[in-house]
Structure 1
Amino acid sequence: MQKSTNVGQAPIKKRKRMKIPHIYVLLFLISAVGAIMTYLIPAGEFERTPGPDGRETIDPESFAQIESSPLSLIEFMTAIPRGMIDAGEIIFFTFIIGGMFMVLRRTGIIEVGVDRLARKFQTKSLLIIPILTTLFAMVATIIGTPELSLVYIPVLMPLMISLGYDSMIAAAIALISTALGFTAGVMNPVTVGISQQISGLETFSGLGLRVVIFIVIVVIGCWYMMRYAKQVKKDPISSLTYEDDTEKRELYKDERDKEPQPLTKRQKLAVGTLPIFFIILVYGVTQLDWFMIEMAGLFVFMAVIVGVISGLTLTKISEAFTEGFREVLMGAIIIGIARSVAIVLEDGQIMDTIVYGLGSIVGQLPGVFSALGMQYVQLLINFFIPSGSGQALVTMPIMAPLSDMVGVTRQTAVLAFQFGDGFAHIIYPTSGYFMAALVIAGVSWEKWVRFFFPLFLIYMVVAMVFLIFAQMVQWTG
C-alpha cells in the first residue's frame, strides 16, 4: 500500500490575493501622506488673476516660495470634518438622488418601466449598451456634466439586473459613457472651452480630431462593456458583484413570463410629468448654469410631486426619502473624506509647489515626450484637483506658454490636458461624484478598479497614440 508523501509536511496554504484596504482607510492614509509632505515640500504659491468667465486663474510667472506652514496636528484632525463641509454640495446631492429614487420606486412606475424595457430588449439586450453609452456620451461631450451619471444609475440599475446583467454594468454604462464624452470634449465648455481661452486659441477649434477621438474611445468602451456583459449573461457567477447583487436580483427578478404589469391612471399621470422635469433639468444646466444645488432642489420637487400624483401620502414620501438617504450614507461619507486630501495640501500651501514642479519636469523633456509628459503630469495633478475646470485654471496658464518653449502646439497641450484630466475622473477615489455614483450603484471602489483598470490602460495607450500623431503633424486645429 502506497504511503502518503505528505506525512510530516506542513499543509499547503492557498495564496491569498492582496486585499485593497477599505476605502476609508485608503483615503485616510493618503491624507496622512499629504500631511507629511507639508513638512518635506517647500511651500509656494502663484498669484491669482481674473480668468475666463470671471473665474480665478494663476499668473504662471509669479511662482514664489513662501514661509513654510506644515500641517499641525489640529489641522490634520479637522481635515475630514472640513472636507465634509467643503464637499457639502456633492454630499447633499448624493442624499437627494438616493431619496428621490426611493420615492420613485415606491410609486411603482420604475418597476413597470423596467418590465416594459426588459421585454422590448429581451432578445437583443446587448444592443442597449452601445445605444445608451453613445447617447450619454453625446450629452456629456456637449454640456460637460459627467455628474449626470448620478441621475442615470438609479434608472439603469433595475433594467440591467432584469436583463440578466449586474450592478457593475449599470455603473459602467453611466460612468464610462459620461467620462468618455467629457474627455473627448467635442464642445465641452468646462474643459476644452476654458483651456482654449486660456491658451489663446479659438474656442472649440480642432473640432475634427476631437470628433474622431470621440468615436474611437466610445467604440472601445462599448466593446469592453459588451464583452463583460456577455460573460455575465452566460455565467452569472463570473460577475464581480454577484454576491452583492443577491437582494437586487430578488427585487428586480425577471417577470417577463407573467402578464405585463399595467399602469394605473394615477401612475400614467405621474409618468407624464417626468419629461417636464427632464426638460427643466436640461434647460437649467445648459442655459442657467445650474449645478448640483439647483439640480438637487429640482429633484426634491420632482419626487414630491410625482409621489403625490401617483397616490403616495406625504408620510410615505418622507419615509421613502429617509430610506434612500440610508442607502447612500457611506458614499456621502467617502466624498467628504476624499475632499480632505486636497484640504491637507491647501492648508500646507504645497499644491502650487507640486504643480510648478511637475510643470518644470515637462520643460526638460524633448519633442514628442513633452506632449506625453504633459498628459501624465495632468494625470497626476487630477488626483489632487479632481475638477476639470479647476484643473484647467491652475495648469493651463503654465502648460500653454511651456508648450511654445518645447515645440508642442498649444492645441496639443489642450489635448494632453483633456486626456490627463478626463479618464482619471472614474478611477481616483478623490473624485467626489464618481465615488457617490459607485455607492448609488452599490459597487465598491475596489471591485470597480478590478473591472475598469484594464480599460483605463487601453485608454492611456490610445491617448498616447493621438498625442504622438498631433505632435508629428504639429496640430493647430
Structure 2
Amino acid sequence: MKKIKFPSAQTVLLIIAAFVALLTWFIPSGQYDRLSYNADENTFVKTSSELTETLEASQKTLNDLGVKIPLEKFTSGAIYKPISIPGTYKELESRPQGFVEFIQAPLKGIIAVADIIILVLFIGGLVAIVNFTGAFEAGINRLSAVLKGKEYILIIAVTSLIALGGTTFGLAEETIAFYPILIPIFLAAKYDAIVVLACIFIGSQLGCMISTINPFSTIIASNAAGINWTTGFLSRVIFFFIGLLACILYILRYARKVKNDASKSIIFDQKEAIEKMFAFQKSSKEIDFNLRLKLVLIIFTLCFIVMVYGVSNLDWWFLEMTGVFFVGALVIGFLCRINETVFVNTFMKGASDLLGVAFIIGLARGVTVLMENGLISDTLLFYASSFTEGMPKGIFINVMLFIYSGLTFFIPSSSGMAVLTMPILSPLADTVSLGREHIVNAYLFGNGLFNFINPTGLILAALAMIKVGYNKWLKFVIPLILILTLLSMIFLTITVYF
C-alpha cells in the first residue's frame, strides 16, 4: 500500500483557506465600531457599518464611548491603529466567501505582502552572490575548526540573540534572512536542519511571546488596555529567562541525540537531500580564506547589523531592508569583480530559489483576507468576551490564555490583535479585581504559544526555507509547546494571586 504523503505548505494553506471560507457561511458576520485618532485635525474618527463621524479628541469623548484609555495614548502616537469600541458589536448582513472569493484571496494576499515577498527574493539573490564568491565555504571551514567539540555554543548563542531581538523590537519576519547562511553552518556542525530552524524560529517566537519592550505587542497592547507598558515588566523579564532556558535545553537535548546518532533525526529520511541542497561542495583544494573573502563576509554581516539598527531605531520597514541587501549584493559584486552577466544570472537564480517561500507568505496572507472580508473575527471576539463572566480569577486568567491562542488563528498580527481585542477584553479584568497587565500577559503568551505552529503565521515560510514538512515540525515542537503552556499557566496563576 502506497504511503500517504503529507501535503506541501502551499496545499496546507489552500486547505485552510477553504476551511475559513466555509466558516464564513456558518459564523455570523459582525463588527465592533472603530475609533481612530486624526493627528492632523486633532479629532477622533468613529467608524461603524452605517456611518463615519468626527468627534472631539477629548477624555470626555473616550469616557462617553466607554473606552478606558488615557487621551495621551492617542495624541502621543502610542496608539496609531483604529481600536474596537466596547459595547458596540452588532451582527451584520452575512458575507459568506464563495468560490470566487476563495480563488481571489491568495492573489490579494500576494499583493498585500508584496513588500515582504520582494525582501525574500532579494535575500535569495544576495546569498547566491556570496555563495558564488566561495566566502561561505571558506568561512564555514574556518568556523568549524574553531568550534570543533564546542558546537553547542552555536545553539545557545543563536537562540539567545534572536530571542533578545524578539523580546525587544519584535524580530520575526526579518529572521527569514538568517536561514540561508545559518543552515550550512549547522549542517557542518553535524546537526540537522530542524536544529537551525528551532534556534531561529523558536528564538524569535519565544522573544515575541514573552515580550518585554516590544513596541508591536507589549507596548501597543498596554496602551490599548489603558495602562503603562512598564506595569508587569519585571515579572515578564524573569519569565523570559525561564522560557529561554527551557527552549535552549529542549533544543540542546534533541541536537545532542542527532549529533551522536544521525538516525535519531526527525528528518533522517531527508538527510542526504538537505545536505546536498545546502552543504557546499568541497573543492579539490581548500579555498584560501583570504582578505577579499573576509571582506565579503563582513559586508554580508553588516547588511544584517544595518537592517536591525534601521528597524529598531530609524523606523525602517521592508522597503528599506530590501535596499540594504540589494546594496550589499552590488558592493560584493564590485569587490569580487564578478562579470555583469554572471552577476545578474546568479542573483536571479538565487531569487528564484526562494520564490516558493515568497508564495507561501502570500498564501498565508490570503487566509487572513478571507477572514477580514467574511467579518467573522469580531464575532468570535464578542462571544469570547461573554464566555468568561463570573469566573474565579485563577481560572479566568488561564481561560483568557486559551481564548487568545484561539483568536490568533483568526488574527495572526500581534499589533492587530492588540488594538482589536484589548479595549474589549482588558476591562474584563476589572470585573474579577485584577490589574489589566494580566490580560496583556495572557494576550502575549496565548498569541505566542499558537504562533509556534500557526499555519497562517511564519512557520510554513520558515519550513519552506529548509525544505521540511509541517508534520515533521509538529512532531518536534508539540512537546515544547506543552512545556511552555504549563509554565505560562503556572506563571499567570501565581501572578494573579501574589
How far is the alpha carbon of 1:321 from its aligned partner? 2.2
Contact 2:139/2:289 (8 A) holds in 1: no
Q: What TM-score, normalized to structure 1? A: 0.90
Matched, 1:460 2:485: yes
1:220 is aligned to 246
**SS of residue matched to 2:388:** helix
Match of 2:459 among 422, 434, 437: 434
Change beyond 3 A, Cα 1:271–1:72: closer
Match of 2:338 among 312, 337, 361: 312
Contact 1:49/1:58 (8 A) holds in 2: yes
2:48 is aligned to none
Match of 2:181 among 146, 151, 155: 155
Change beyond 3 A, Cα 1:147–1:77: closer
How far is the alpha carbon of 1:20 from its aligned partner? 4.1
Match of 2:419 among 393, 418, 438: 393
Whole-Å separation in 2 of the counterparts to 1:255 and 1:80: 41
How far is the alpha carbon of 1:400 from its aligned partner? 1.0
**SS of residue matched to 1:49:** strand
For 1:447, give the aligned amino acid. K
Change beyond 3 A, Cα 1:349–1:30: same
**Structure 2: runs of 5 or more not aligned:** 37-73
Matched, 1:31 2:13: no
1:3 is aligned to none
Whole-Å separation in 2 of the counterparts to 1:313 and 1:254: 22
Matched, 1:444 2:464: no
Match of 1:48 among 34, 48, 52: 34
Whole-Å separation in 2 of the counterparts to 1:372 and 1:197: 22
Contact 1:42/1:65 (8 A) holds in 2: yes
Change beyond 3 A, Cα 1:138–1:282: same
Change beyond 3 A, Cα 1:82–1:148: closer
How far is the alpha carbon of 1:260 from its aligned partner? 6.6
Whole-Å separation in 1 of the counterparts to 2:30 and 2:274: 50
2:120 is aligned to 94
Match of 2:191 among 165, 172, 194: 165
Whole-Å separation in 1 of the counterparts to 2:419 and 2:237: 24
Whole-Å separation in 1 of the counterparts to 2:215 and 2:177: 21
When the two chains are superposed, the root-mean-square deviation of aligned CA atoms in Å is 2.3
Change beyond 3 A, Cα 1:331–1:182: same
**Structure 1: runs of 5 or more not aligned:** 1-12
Change beyond 3 A, Cα 1:128–1:271: closer
How far is the alpha carbon of 1:332 from its aligned partner? 1.9
How far is the alpha carbon of 1:214 from its aligned partner? 0.9
Contact 2:16/2:367 (8 A) holds in 1: yes
**SS of residue matched to 1:244:** helix
Q: What TM-score, normalized to structure 2? A: 0.86
CA deviations over 1:278-314 (Å, ceiling 9, x no partner): 4422321112221222212211111221232123223
Matched, 1:241 2:267: yes
How far is the alpha carbon of 1:341 from its aligned partner? 1.7
For 1:455, give the aligned amino acid. L
Matched, 1:379 2:365: no
1:403 is aligned to 429
Within a 5 Å distance, the mapping from 1:71-86 to structure 2 comes to 71-86=97-112
Whole-Å separation in 1 of the counterparts to 2:113 and 2:295: 37
Matched, 1:119 2:145: yes
CA deviations over 1:20-52 (Å, ceiling 9, x no partner): 443333322222222222222221111111253
Paired positions, count: 457
For 2:324, give the aligned amino acid. L
Whole-Å separation in 1 of the counterparts to 2:89 and 2:244: 39
For 2:323, give the aligned amino acid. G
1:414 is aligned to 440
For 2:468, give the aligned amino acid. V
Matched, 1:340 2:366: yes
Change beyond 3 A, Cα 1:53–1:104: farther
Within a 5 Å distance, the mapping from 1:123-202 to structure 2 comes to 123-202=149-228
Whole-Å separation in 2 of the counterparts to 1:289 and 1:85: 22
Change beyond 3 A, Cα 1:20–1:396: farther
Contact 1:112/1:261 (8 A) holds in 2: yes
**SS of residue matched to 1:39:** coil
% same residue: 31
Change beyond 3 A, Cα 1:371–1:205: same
